[in-house]
Structure 1
Amino acid sequence: MTAASQIATSDDLLALILSSLNDDKAEDIVQIDLRGKTAIGDYMVICSGRSTRQVSAISEKLAQAVKDATGRTSKMEGRETGDWVLIDTGDVVVHVFRPEVREFYQLEKMWLGGDDAATAAPH
């Protein structure tokens, strides 16, 4: 069985992404279930890196891991500055922030209302 055939569902892709983020020491990883809420993807993952260099490195390694496992190239924005990088892997949208930038934008609050708090799973 090839690596690409092992990544058959959005849940498999999410597991790969969470593993990559953990391996690269991303901090405060939160996953948000978007199924039934929006067409942008099935999951959103938000995490932090301690510096612009770490944010960029986490993002580059994640995009490469997704490409190696699925054969798909992820769309990436913001890697040059390293404050906030968005990686669109298809079914899972990943945001990697420096902590100060993450606090400013507060994406978790935008996607998580009071009733939805149970759908976010810190990892």
Structure 2
Amino acid sequence: MGRPNPLKEKSFAFAIQIVNTYKHLVSEKKEFVMSKQLLRSGTAIGALYREAEQAESKADFIHKLGIAQKECNETLYWLELLHASSFLAIQEFERLHKNATELIKLITRIIVSSKNNKPNN
């Protein structure tokens, strides 16, 4: 097995949490609109990282991670809105918000590091 990859592992684990939260929101809370947005943005983070792994260039890698960063920020928005409108309990909100915040910080560090190591910078 290869080296540990925190972003790959954390984004996949987060996607599973988002899928489970989506299932709960739909079945228990009967919330279909915001939960679908949360599902889309929350699972896109890991998918975009997987795309970035196969980037054609350093610039393409940075671009794809930038989109993942935006999706993570959007996920934070949907989490905040779902909590503020009483669809997410405080414990679930805090857990998901903490994990999304960790992801966005990790993605940001990788983008900054990649830009600093980019040739002709």
* TM-score, length of structure 2 as denominator length: 0.33
Q: Which structure shows the higher helix fraction?
A: 2
